[in-house]
Amino acid sequence: MTDAFLKRHLTWLITVLTLVSAAGCGPQRSAATYRVSGKVVFADGTPLATGGTILLESVDGQPAYNARGAIQDDGTFRLSTFDEGDGAVAGKHRVIVIAKRDAADWVERGIVPRPVIDPRFEDYETSALGFTVEPDGNDEFTVVVERP
């Protein structure tokens, strides 16, 4: 395994563990959230049908707030920050997409599962994805990713 591969997956693991531990701490609501939904698609319009997670990090102030959403089989998602489906705080956000990989690669073939999307979309520093959450009209976000 390459150092880049290990670094990327270690970053992903730390992000997931941080979200899980934060969810268990019962965060105090200190910012208004606005409902956000959308779809993750490839450049040709095909939805990311493998599932996965979309993660947002606010960049407009301190503290930074994180929102997350499960990507459904049709590529759609709905974001949560404090409570299930409550959305995201207003302002600019950077975005990453963690696509679910085929576990059969590891279980049946003994190889590391192949990426479904270009791995650059799994890291805030390289994804170049982002959008701005407004108090209204956050129902049509389209996040475009590329195949590896």
Q: What is the pLDDT of residues 77-111, one digit of tens each?
A: 999 999 999 999 999 999 999 999 887 777 787 88
Q: 141-145 and 37-42 as β-strands: parallel, antiparallel, unpaired?
A: parallel
Provide the pLDDT for residue 57.
97
Across 121-137, b (16+ Cβ under 10 Å) vs e yields bbbbeebebebebeeee
Tell me the C-alpha distance between 113 and 28, whole Å.
Answer: 37
What's the pTM?
A: 0.77
Distances from the Cα of 82 to the Cα of 6, 48, 90, angstroms: 30, 25, 14
Stronger pLDDT, 133 or 22, i.e. the higher one: 133
Question: Which domains, ranges and CATH numbers included, belong to the chain?
Answer: 3-145 (2.60.40.1120)
Provide the pLDDT for residue 129.
98
- What's the mean pLDDT when you consider all of the chain? 86
The mean per-residue pLDDT over the stretch 124-143 comes to 95
Tell me the C-alpha distance between 99 and 83, whole Å.
Answer: 23
The mean per-residue pLDDT over the stretch 9-28 comes to 54
